[in-house]
Amino acid sequence: MGRDSQNNVIGGFSLEKQYKSFKLSIEADLKSGVTAIFGNSGSGKTSLLNCISGLMSPDRGYIRLNGEELFNSKSKINVKPENRRIGYVLQDSLIFPHLSVIDNINYGYKLVPRENRKIEPDDLIQIMGLTEVLDRRPTELSGGEARRVAIARALAISPNILMLDEPMQGLDFGVRGSIIRYLTRIQNELNMHMILVSHSISEVLVLAQNIILLNKGEKVAEGSMREILSSGGLTSVIDLSQLENVFESIVKDNGQTSGLGIVMLNDLEIEVPVFHAKIGSKATASIRASDIIIAKYPPEGLSARNVLKGIITDIADSVQSAVIYVDVGTILIAEITRRSLRELDLKIGSEVHLIIKANSVGVAELN
């Protein structure tokens, strides 16, 4: 789960850009960690990234990062894209088709002056799990591998910030889980600040500490996921039933002989439908927040296979429904009606039991 937003401001922007039928007008801070730019298609997410990166110039305003002014319409400052020290992974994950994986990664690294090199290619290869594909050309890579190479190449310039425009778009569920795992490693091991553009609330929930919510080119809300949910701003652009818990697990039993699979979420056993994955391998699992039932007392006589005891750590009570954060050894979220919240008298610190049917858990082997 993404941690709460951090208060360390590393930059900010206030910009306007007029397009033929659309105007981007937004002001916000950039904070340390991962900031997600979230909104419906056409809300201005990619346009904002293009302005920050320098691929497009705003009509007016400013862009600052790490104490440096990258753009200022009043003082006529407009730093070239290649000099902004921003790693940018676009939606189509463009990598040089005539170069091998290792040469793609080394290309950006060699452009960086030696004194500015903070990230070594060998570290990127290890973090992104690319050891086995270094000699391959892009046409020989899977979609997930190509996306990881694009991210590694963007990081090879030792950027001050990494920007990712829909990095999981077009990838199947298992591969998306894999990319989430690698992005988490980047954040933890490289302490890399990131801007993540996504229309997937699940990706945002897992990765981001701070969220900027856009709608029709303007900022609707800004803050942590809890703050956004509580403000009700998110309900204008998404159905909360799409909220998912996405986590990495270890396969204990794929169910091929027993008829019921088991994955390990830290020390918790979660029973799941039969699936194809090797025992001991890593797998991505997901549970919709709306598929989790909350009970105040230990339930009995259930057909549901999973009952997890936990403590409520947070409650985001929006206009539409309530999202409950429960610590069961890891944080899981459940979405319930506001009426259920009142009738169960749920509060932070309440002990509860989460009831999850095996068929409500989706599992895919990590690639």
pLDDT at position 4:
47
Mean of pLDDT values over 232-261: 80
* Torsion of the alpha carbons at 295, 273, 335 and 223, rounded to the nearest 10: 130
361: exposed, middle or buried (Cβ count in 10 Å: 0-12, 13-18, 19+):
buried
Domains of the chain and CATH, by start = 9-239 (3.40.50.300), 244-365 (2.40.50.100)
pLDDT at position 272:
95
pLDDT at position 3:
47
pLDDT at position 240:
65
Give the confidence band of 44 by pLDDT, cuts at 50, 70, 90.
very high
pLDDT at 93 over 80: no
Provide the phi-psi class of 172: left if phi over 0, else alpha when psi is between -120 and 50, else beta.
beta
- Strands of the sheet containing 210-215, edge to edge, are 86-89, 161-165, 194-198, 34-38, 210-215, 218-223
Record the pTM. 0.84
Mean of pLDDT values over 157-169: 94
Of 7-21, 226-240, 298-312, the poorest mean pLDDT is in 226-240
Mean of pLDDT values over 123-136: 95
Tokens of 143: 């979609």
How many Å from the N-terminal Cα to the C-terminal Cα in the chain? Answer: 21
Give the confidence band of 6 by pLDDT, cuts at 50, 70, 90.
very low
CB 54 within 8 A of CB 15: no
Give the confidence band of 5 by pLDDT, cuts at 50, 70, 90.
very low
- Give the residue with greater pLDDT, 366 vs 157: 157
Phi and psi of 39, rounded to 5°?
170, 170
Give the confidence band of 233 by pLDDT, cuts at 50, 70, 90.
low
CB atoms within 10 A of CB 178: 24
pLDDT at position 276:
85
Give the confidence band of 109 by pLDDT, cuts at 50, 70, 90.
very high
**348/311 Cα distance (integer angstroms):** 8
Q: Mean pLDDT of all residues in the chain?
A: 90
pLDDT at 353 over 80: yes
State what percent of residues in the chain have pLDDT above 70. Answer: 94
Give the confidence band of 7 by pLDDT, cuts at 50, 70, 90.
low
pLDDT at position 41:
83
State what percent of residues in the chain have pLDDT above 90. Answer: 66
pLDDT at position 15:
97
pLDDT at 88 over 90: yes
**178/366 Cα distance (integer angstroms):** 5
Tokens of 56: 């497009």
Using the Cα atoms of residue 13, residue 14, residue 18 and residue 23 in order, give the sign of their dihedral.
positive
Write down the number of H helices and E strands in the chain: 8, 21
pLDDT at 112 over 60: yes
Query: What would the DSSP string read from start to end of 248-316?
Result: EEEEEE-STTTSSEEEEETTEEEEE------TT-EEEEEEEGGG-EEESS---S-S-SEEEEEEEEEEE
209: exposed, middle or buried (Cβ count in 10 Å: 0-12, 13-18, 19+):
buried
pLDDT at position 177:
83
Give the confidence band of 236 by pLDDT, cuts at 50, 70, 90.
low
Mean of pLDDT values over 127-145: 94
Kind and range of the H or E run holding 365? strand 361-365
What's the pLDDT tens digit per position in 203-219?
Answer: 888 899 999 999 899 99
pLDDT at 297 over 60: yes
